[in-house]
Structure 1
Amino acid sequence: MTNNRPAGSHRPAAAVAAPLPTAALPWRLLSLALAALLALVGVLAMPRAASAAELDAIKTVTITEPRDEVHLWESLRIEATWAVPDGSRAGDTFTLAFPQSPRVTGFATTFDLKTPEGAVVGTCDVTQDGFACTLSPYVETATNVHGTLYFWAQVDDVGEGGTFAFVTGNDMVIKVPVPGGGVIPGEGWSAPEQPLKNGWVSTDGRTAVWDVFVPSEFLAAAAGGPVVVTDTYDPRLTMRDDSLVVGYVALADWDDGDFSDDAVWLERGTGYVYTPDVAGSSFDLTFVDPVTDGSRMYMVRYEMTLPAGVRDGDTFGNQIAGSTGWDDQRVLEYAGAGGDGDGDGNGELRLTKRVTGDGAASVPAGTEFTVEYTTERDGRTASGSLTVTDGATVSLPGLAAGTVVTLSEVSPAAIDGVTWGAPVFSGEGVTTVEGGAQVTVGEEGVVEVALENPATPVVPPATVPPVTEPPGETPSVAVVPPTEPPAARPTATGGALATTGATVGVLAGAAALLLGTGLTLVALRRRGAAS
C-alpha cells in the first residue's frame, strides 16, 4: 500500500507502544487463551437449527415383473419395503440409487405414501437414476413407521453378471438376482409385412412415444389420388407437432431392426405433408412421390404429452389407417408408481360442525369453515388447518397417544342477515383455552370434537311509513283576512300638511250629510206638489 503521509510527519502516537515487562507475558498469554476458550464455548452453546437426516430405511428390494427372464429394453416392476426409526423428523429422507451394470433407468414420477386412513406419511420422487422419499410431520407423532412402495424401471444394457446392485443413501448395497440369471440381449426383429403401430411411455414419465411402420407397397396411389395416412389418438393426449419425424429405410438395410445409420429422413413439405385436425385428436400424412415397389419401409415417429394426473393402469388408444382400407392400432398402458405407510399407536381427531340458532336457515349450504390446529407431543409440534361444512365431519389422522391438539376457528365469512356468535367446542376431554379448545389423544385413539357456530338473524330497524292524502280530495286552503297597512307618519312637503286618514274620514262624513239633506229636500218638494 502506498504511504501518502508527507515526509517528516510525526508517527501516530497509537502506533508507538512500550515493550511489555517479561514477567507480564505469561499472564497476557493466559488471558488470550481464556478469552478464546470462552468464545469457543459460546459458539458450541448456540442453538442449532435441526437439519434433515438421511435414514437407512430400505429393508428389501424385489423384482416382481418379469419373473422368468429379463430382456434388454424390458420394463421391470420393482417393489421395496421400508421402515424408519422412532424419533424420525419431518424432512428426513431415505433414498435408493438404481443399478449401473446392468443399467436400470427409472420412469420418473411422484407419489405419496399414505396410511389406510389417508394420512400422508411421506412423498417419493422417482427419477431416471433412483428415488428419494421425504417424510412428513406424521412421523413425529407416531412410532414404528413403516410401509411398502413400488415403481417401474427399464433395462438399458446387458451389463455383466446376474445381479442388480441397488445402493441406499447410506451406501448400503442391496443385491437382487436378475430373473433368468442375466439380461438377454436383443435378438432383433424382422421387417413387418403389414402396417404396424407401436408405442411406449418414455422414462421421463410424461411422454408417450409412437412408431408407425408402413411397407412401401401400401402407399401405392389409389384411383382417387395418393394414399392418406390418418392417425387417430386418445383426446386426452396432446400432440407435439415439432416431434414428428418421417423417413424410410431400404429393406436391404433393415439389419434386424438396427437400421438407424441407414435411415433417410424426409423434409416436411417436400417429402411429406402434415395436416393436423382442428379438433386436436388426429392428423393426416401424405407422402410426396413415395416409392411403392415394396423395396422400402416408411417410418413415422412422434411424441405426445400425457395428461396431468395420469395414474398407474391408465390406458391410451391409438389407431393408424390408410385411405385404401388398411389399419392397425395399439393401446398403451401407463405404468406408474405408488406406496403406503403406517405406524403404531396412532390416533385420530374427528371434528363435526353444526350451525345452530334462528339464523342457521340463512347460511347457504356448503359454506366452508376453517379450523386451525396445532399438535404437540414430546416437545415436537406440527400445525395445519381443517376445512369443514355444516353437518360434516373431518378427520385429523396420524395422532399418537399423548398428543395434545389445540383448535381455534378462523372467523367465519360475513353473511348478509346473519350475526355469528362465539364458536363453541365440546366433547369428552375437550377443555376451553384462550381462543379455542384443547384435547389430548388417549390410548383409545379416536377423539370426537363438536364445533357449534350460533347464528342469529339480523332484525332490521322499524320504519314509520309516510302519510299520504286520499285521492280525489283537495286540501282546504286557509283564508287570511287582509290587514290594514300601518299609518304613514305625516311628512311636511312645501309648507302644506299631508292628507291623513283622519282628514279623509271627516270629508267623507260631511259628504254623506250633504247627500242626506239633499235627498230630504227633494222628497218634501215632491210631496208638496202632489198636494
Structure 2
Amino acid sequence: MVVSPGMAAEGGGVDPGSIQITRDPAGDADRPLTVGDSVRVTAAWSVPDGTVAGHRFTLELPDVFSTVNVTPFALETASGESMGECAVTGTPPVLACTLNSSVEGKSNVHGALWAGVRASKATDSTSVDVVLDGGQTRSVPLPGGGGIVPRDTGTEPSTPAEPTPPIERFQKWGENYLAKGEGFWWKVAVPSSEWPDDGTSPLTIVDRIGEGSPHRFLDPAAYPGPQWAPYLEQSCDADPDRYPRVVGDRSLARWTVSPDGGTMTVEVDRALAQKAGVEGACAIRVNYITRPTGEVRAGDTFRNSASVNRLVTSSRIVLSGSGGGTAEGDEVGRFSVAKSVTGAAAALVAPGTEFHARYRADGYEDGTLNVAFDGTEAVSPWFRVGTRVLVGEVDLPVVPGVEWGDVRILVDGVEHGPGAEFVIAAGRTMVVELVNTADPEATVEVPVEPEPEVEVPGEPVVPEPEPEVEVPGEPVVPEPEPEVEVPGEPVVPEVEPEVPGEPAEPELETEVPVEPAPEQPDGETTEPPSPLDPHVEPEPEDPGAPADPGDPTAPVVPEPPARVPGAPDGGRITPAATTRLASTGTESAPPAVVGLAALMLGAVAIAVDRRRRRAAERADA
C-alpha cells in the first residue's frame, strides 16, 4: 500500500544513514586529515509525495570545518531539469536545500548531493556529529581514522600551498573569496620594464569590468577591513633573498573608482620602484576587490581587463558550485473539485454552503474533499500517472425549502453521471465539477380528522330544521269565457302567461284530430255537440288525481255561462244573425264555437298536468 499523499507529513530531507565525509580529492585512506585539507560531504535525500515548492531541508556540520564556496548548486534530473537548489553558507557550515515547483509534478522524489568544505580545526576525535532538520543528531566517522592533524606538527598538508607566480610580464588574475564575504580578489602585476622611462611619470593602471556576469569595483573606503584594503606589493623575484617582498606605502598610490563602479584607476609613484634598489629587477603588484551585483550561480563568469600604456591583460573567474546534486521522481497528476447549483430553488442555497466529494484512488487511501459553494476549488493530492480515480458526492446539506435532484459530475467538461471514474494524467490538474439541481420542496397536505361529537346523556339532540324554500305560486289563469264568433274577425287563441321566477318551458302544440261527419242524405253535415249543451254530459275526471280545493295549482272550474234573455233554461242559443245558410230539419252548434271550446279544454288540461309535475318535482327535491 502506498501512503496517501494527503496523509504524508511535510518533511523528508537528508537520509541520516547515508551521510559520509571523505577527502577531496580522494587520497590515502589510512592517512588522517590535516588542517587546510579539502573535504567532501555526501548524502542521499528524499521527500514524501505531496511536497510543494519552497520545501527546505538542512544539514549542519561541526565547527571543525569551514565554508569554502557559497555558490549555490542545482539538484538536476537526467534531462537537466532543476528540482531545487542547495548552498553551503555560514560558520559552522550549513548545507541548505530548497525545492522548486518541479516536485509538484512528481512522486517518489529523491536524489543525492555533495558539498565541499575545508578542515579548519584540529581534533583528536575520529568522528564528528552532524545535525539534521528537527534537531536529529548523527555521528559520522572522519576519513583516515585519526581525526584532524594540526599543520604545525610537520606533517605535510594534503594540498600544497599555491606558489607565488614570477612577475616577468604584465599579467592579471583573480581569486574567489565570496565564502568570507569579501568578493573577488583581483591582482595586477607590472614588471619594472613596463614602467615609464622618463623617470618622473607615475605608473597608471586602468582596470575595466568586462562582459559576463555583472560585478562592480568596491570603493576603497568600503573595504571590509584594513587587512583587505587595496595595497601595493613590491616583489623582486629575480633575487628573493636580496629583495624581499615589501608591502608598499599606500601613500605612494591613489585609487579612483568611477561613479558607476565599472572602472578602477590606480596611479603608482615611481619612487616605490626606486626603494627596491635595482631598477628592472623588481615589479609592482596591485590588489583590489570587486563584488557581484546580484545572486550568483555555479557557472557564472566574471571578467575584467587591465591596461598599462598600450598593454592590455584580461582575466576571469568562473564560479564552481559549493557542491552538486541529482534528482528524480515519478510523473504524477491530480484533480480539483468545484461546485455549481442549478434549478428553480438554487437561490435558496446560501454562498459558502459546504458540499463533500468522496474519492477512491487505486493504491491510495480513500479521501474526502470539502468544497464550498462560493466559486472556490478544492485540490486533491498528487497521484501517480495512470492511477484510476472514482469520485462521488456524499452527505448533501439540508437546505430549507430545497429538494435535491441527482448530482451530475463533469470531468474536464464531459458529463459522467452521479459517479465519475477517470485516469490521472501526467502533470495535469483535471477539473471535476459537481452539479446539483435544487428543486422547490413539495408541500404535503395532512388531512385533518373532525373531532367526534360527544353526546351528553339526558339532552335530546334536536335536529336543526331545514330552511324552507319559498316556492312562488303560479298565477291562476282565469278560464276565458267563450267568445261569440263575430263575422269577419278571426279568432285568436289566448297564450298562457309565463310564471315569473321559473324558466319558460316550450309549449306543446296539441293537435286535435277532427273526424269528418258522415254525409247526410240531404247534403248536410252533423256538427259535434257543444260543450255548453246541457244535454251533453261532460267526461268524468281521472279518479286517481282528485283536485284539492286548497291547492293553488288546481284547475279553476269555469262558471256556467250567463243565461241569455229570451232563451228558456236549457235551451239553445241562436245567434241573431249568421253567415251560414239556414239549416233545415236539424239543430246544430256553429263549428267555430265547438272548435274553440275543444282547444280551450285541451290547453287547460295541459296546464293542469304541467302544474302537477312541477309540484311533484318540488316535493321530491
Larger Cα Rg: Structure 1 or Structure 2? Answer: 2
Which TM-score applies when normalising by structure 1? 0.47
- Greater helix proportion: 1
**Is the strand fraction higher in 1 or 2?**
1
TM normalised by structure 2 equals 0.41
